[in-house]
Chains A and B, each alone.
Chain A
Amino acid sequence: MSGQGEWAQKRLPAAGVAVGVILIAGPFLATVVRSLLVWRDDSPHLSLGNFANLFGDARFVSAATNTLVAGVCTTFFSLILGFSLAFLVCRTDMPGRRWLETANLVPFFLSPYVGAISWIYLLAPHGGLLPALVRTHLGISLEWLNIYSVPGVIFVLTLFYTPYVYLFVTPPLREMDASFEDAARVHGASFWYTTRHITLPLVMPAMLSAGLIVFVTSAGLFDVPLALAAPRGIRFMPTEIFAMVQYPSDLGKAAAFGMVVLTVTVMLTLWQRKFLAGRRFDTITGKGYRPRTIKLRLPTKIAALTLEAIYVGGGVVLPLFVLLLVSFSKLWTGRFLWRTATTGNYEYILTKYDLTRTAIANSLFLAVTGATIGVGLAVLQGYYLTRGNPKRRALMETLLSLPLGIPGIILGLGFLIMALHTPLYSTLTIILIAYIARFQPFATRNVTAMFMAINPELEQSARASGATWKQTMRHIVLPLLKPSLIASWLMLFVIFIRELGATILLYAQGTETISVAMVVLSERSSGYVAALAVVQLILLLVAFIAFQITRTPISQRST
């Protein structure tokens, strides 16, 4: 008696999940197999030679050490900064907190690669805006402040990863049931005692999971080491893998390195999921009163605003400012001269130069197509994960969330190995597939959360009223999911517009993206790079504004 509707209900969501699983299993298996193959006499042999080769390489040790040090330090500083900013915005009467609440999030939407090159323009020992200004006006040399260094990488990474912590910590801080803290106060605890012994422990699960995500993703980020470490020969994991794939390439060794990274990230991701499983919604009861706002005294108020000024200044204002200056300069020397100001850079990249014009078109195509496919898959996967076969749900959710921790360059490597001798090699399609594989789980996570908020009885009463599965999806489920579909689409759009790590191994002539074009141009002219970065920024800001406009506060969402 199974009608066509029931067939769709069972098969479509399962198909969505199957696509997701293939997208993660494919590159994973390719990397495993390739890491175990060594070519001798023009034929492949199974061997651990790649691993021996890798572990015996001093460059591997230095890359791993630098990556771990930078990851740990970035996590530490992001946690402190993120918690402080979230606390100030959520729990105090700091002036302008409504505006700053959004400003603190802006770096989340910006490209870390652009952030890194902006800080080169700001702080390079020669030709940096800040050292030049300070030398001229204060007579102090800032040349010891070298942005091309491990601390430089940590600094820029911290600016870009603080919003992750901020995003994780804000909901528990804001929505924590006030009675937890009120009970402590009534029973005799001071404000600071309560903060230390009640508030902080309650926020700790959020802090720990944010910390883990920051560690995994910041250590795997290709953009910042490429801009700040590679030019001085400082080795990092992602740049080292990139180097291994370049001529004379050693794919086996790169795959072995990839395996090491995959093992660590998958283990950390699984551990984090296990850790989080029992702790969800600990602090949010959905009832009771909002926590009290703390009144700051004048000195604390000044200190709070200074912290905000440093963060928003360093993460948003200064980089944007210097990018604009460089993009309008004929030649960047650390000073902006009005008489040589020009719009020539923009004219060149937008109208004359094929590489940049192709890159912009490619990026827009990838972002729009990828976000649309990604959200479509997310709906099917979200349906399966909340309404599908209960026995397989948990396993599938774990599998589908794995790509979130895997560095883009590792996934790019997997797809490169897979596509190498196929027609997909050096096409936009393989880049699109890699983007969806790596980032689509973000959309699934969003949409799944929204699915969980929709009472299944809303669908069941539609079915009982006579609607088929497809009609129910169209008239009930999709309209209810709409806020999260829009948010997920915009999020994927933003990520795809600025993506670099997964692209860098897969692009070829004619399939460059904006970020790739910036890397290619970075050796030629800072003016072109800055102008291209501004174009990218405009695209990102349009998406960010759209996100802010369409975002419905959780309190107004109906369930």
Chain B
Amino acid sequence: MSSVRVQGLTKRFGNHAAVFEVSFDVPTGGTIALLGPSGCGKTTILRCLAGLETPDFGVIDIDGEPVFDHAKGIDLAPERRGLGIVFQSYAVWPHMTVAENVAFPLKVRGMGAAERKDRAARMLELVGLKGFEDRSATLVSGGQQQRIALARALVHEPRLVLFDEALSNLDTRLRQQMRMELRMLQERLGFTAVYVTHDQAEAFGLADTVILMNNGAIEITGPSREVFLHPRSAFAARFFGMNVLEGRLLESQSDPRYLEAELSPRLIVRGVAAPEQDLQPNGRVLACIRKDAVHVFRPERPEDATGTIVAASFLGAEEEYLVEVAGVRIQTIGAAVGLQKGDAVCVTMAADEWVFVR
């Protein structure tokens, strides 16, 4: 059974359709990430799920119960949808203690003070904030506020929990730690989770299914691994940080397993077509390759060099290069080997790493 079913969701702000005819399902206990650049409509979808925005068209079911149905005039108030939500700002109420914040969903449901206290304490223990109950909620660190917001979103055992860029305000190290903890907590408690994020690592790390959004519509949906490894559009390839190079698809193929594309008169690459592409021989094609699938190294003999380093930037464990091969500029990323601008290098690209899209 699906926990969340969204059909034909459309939301306009003035003349601009922030979300246009979006449909997707999340199974009970499933995790889904709405991924995309800012302004792609992912937060609007989340706010529609929560009842904080009223969509213009469409249907939203939660646990088989319609919470929004434009045609039937159903629009449940946020408090009647039985959800939990974690905002990017955490939205921890500054005038309450940590325990009061966490116990709030229980309080508005009319639970007695003793039981409230007990459940809030258990939830705080679960998120690693045991002993923080009576602290003022504003006098704790950002990471701890994040945990308070999380505990508050889970304390009333909601069927669905929404996360709006929930980890974006944390520093990198804390974000990685929180991502792991959140994943474990989700598996343990089994709630359905919808994450909104612009960070691909967060989306892949937290969710089984990823929906990549582009300009108010769904670009790709699928299991995390598949979405990342097999981008089906230039937008997706660019969003995941791949090289996207324009070329022409060649007519004759020397190897039936691969297609060939000419990126410049002296550079022909082999690759596979992404699913559901209508590629015409001799037609324009976009050839995509991940930066880490391009390797550069110093040639043993200078005459073996096939490319030149145009720019190099040292990132710590890794190094990023812009390399020119036969008149085409390609970005690479890999272990720091200390190449300099102007160095002549060998460039290798595995054939099955190239993906062709229209």
A→B interface (CB under 8 Å): 1, 3, 5-6, 455, 457-458, 460-469, 471, 475-476, 479-480, 482, 558-559
Q: Given that A460-B85, A465-B152 are contacting pairs, would A5 and B77 also be in contact in the complex, using a CB cutoff of 8 Å?
A: yes
Within 8 Å by CB of B91, from A5, A6, A461, lies A461
- B108 near A461 with CB under 8 A, answer no
Within 8 Å by CB of A467, from B75, B89, B95, B104, lies B104
Within 8 Å by CB of B89, from A6, A457, A471, A480, lies A457
Determine the distance from Cα of A105 to Cα of B109 in the docked complex, in whole angstroms. Answer: 47
What are the residues of chain A within 8 A of B74 when measuring CB–CB?
A: 1
What are the residues of chain A within 8 A of B138 when measuring CB–CB?
A: 558
Q: Closest approach, in angstroms, between the C-beta of B164 and any C-beta of chain A?
A: 8
| Interface of chain B residues 45 through 92 with chain A (CB within 8 A) | 50-52, 73-85, 87, 89, 91
- B79 near A458 with CB under 8 A, answer no
B→A interface (CB under 8 Å): 50-52, 73-85, 87, 89, 91, 93-95, 104-105, 107-109, 138, 149, 152-153, 156, 162
**Number of A-B pairs whose CB atoms are under 8 Å?**
83
What are the residues of chain A within 8 A of B51 when measuring CB–CB?
A: 463-464
Q: Given that A1-B75, A455-B89, A455-B91 are contacting pairs, would A464 and B149 also be in contact in the complex, using a CB cutoff of 8 Å?
A: no
Given contacts A463-B77, A465-B79, A466-B105, 5 further A-B contacts (CB under 8 A): A461-B149, A464-B50, A465-B105, A466-B82, A471-B108
Q: Closest approach, in angstroms, between the C-beta of B194 and any C-beta of chain A?
A: 12
Q: Which of B76, B78, B105 has the most CB of A within 10 A?
A: B78
- A465 near B91 with CB under 8 A, answer no
Q: Which of A464, A466, A480, A558 has the most CB of B within 10 A?
A: A464
Determine the distance from Cα of A559 to Cα of B138 in the docked complex, in whole angstroms. Answer: 10
- A476 near B93 with CB under 8 A, answer yes
- B77 near A468 with CB under 8 A, answer yes
Q: Given that A1-B73, A457-B87, A475-B104 are contacting pairs, would A464 and B78 also be in contact in the complex, using a CB cutoff of 8 Å?
A: yes
What are the residues of chain B within 8 A of A475 when measuring CB–CB?
A: 104, 107-108
- A457 near B91 with CB under 8 A, answer yes
What are the residues of chain B within 8 A of A466 when measuring CB–CB?
A: 79, 82, 105, 108-109, 156
Determine the distance from Cα of A464 to Cα of B149 in the docked complex, in whole angstroms. Answer: 12
Determine the distance from Cα of A36 to Cα of B52 in the docked complex, in whole angstroms. Answer: 50
Q: Closest approach, in angstroms, between the C-beta of A463 and any C-beta of chain B?
A: 4
Determine the distance from Cα of A460 to Cα of B73 in the docked complex, in whole angstroms. Answer: 22
- A467 near B91 with CB under 8 A, answer no
What are the residues of chain A within 8 A of B149 when measuring CB–CB?
A: 461
Q: Which 4 A-B pairs have the closest CB atoms?
A: A558-B94, A463-B78, A465-B105, A457-B91
- A460 near B79 with CB under 8 A, answer no
Within 8 Å by CB of B156, from A457, A465, A471, A558, lies A465
Q: Closest approach, in angstroms, between the C-beta of A383 and any C-beta of chain B?
A: 16
- A1 near B76 with CB under 8 A, answer yes
- A461 near B79 with CB under 8 A, answer no
Q: Given that A460-B87, A460-B91 are contacting pairs, would A468 and B79 also be in contact in the complex, using a CB cutoff of 8 Å?
A: yes
- A465 near B84 with CB under 8 A, answer yes
Which residue of chain B has its CB nearest to the CB of A556?
B138
Can you list 5 A-B pairs, Cβ within 8 angstroms, ordered by A?
Answer: A458-B93, A463-B78, A465-B156, A466-B109, A480-B95
- B79 near A6 with CB under 8 A, answer no
Q: Given that A465-B152, A465-B156 are contacting pairs, would A460 and B89 also be in contact in the complex, using a CB cutoff of 8 Å?
A: no
Determine the distance from Cα of A457 to Cα of B152 in the docked complex, in whole angstroms. Answer: 14
Q: Given that A1-B73, A558-B94, A558-B138 are contacting pairs, would A467 and B87 also be in contact in the complex, using a CB cutoff of 8 Å?
A: no
What are the residues of chain A within 8 A of B104 when measuring CB–CB?
A: 462, 465, 467, 475
Which residue of chain B has its CB nearest to the CB of A476?
B93
Determine the distance from Cα of A464 to Cα of B152 in the docked complex, in whole angstroms. Answer: 10
Determine the distance from Cα of A468 to Cα of B94 in the docked complex, in whole angstroms. Answer: 20
What are the residues of chain B within 8 A of A559 when measuring CB–CB?
A: 94
What are the residues of chain B within 8 A of A480 when measuring CB–CB?
A: 93-95
- B52 near A460 with CB under 8 A, answer yes
Within 8 Å by CB of A464, from B52, B73, B93, B94, lies B52
Determine the distance from Cα of A465 to Cα of B73 in the docked complex, in whole angstroms. Answer: 23
Determine the distance from Cα of A48 to Cα of B283 in the docked complex, in whole angstroms. Answer: 80
Determine the distance from Cα of A467 to Cα of B52 in the docked complex, in whole angstroms. Answer: 13
Within 8 Å by CB of B83, from A455, A464, A468, lies A464
Q: Which of B74, B81, B93, B105 has the most CB of A within 10 A?
A: B93
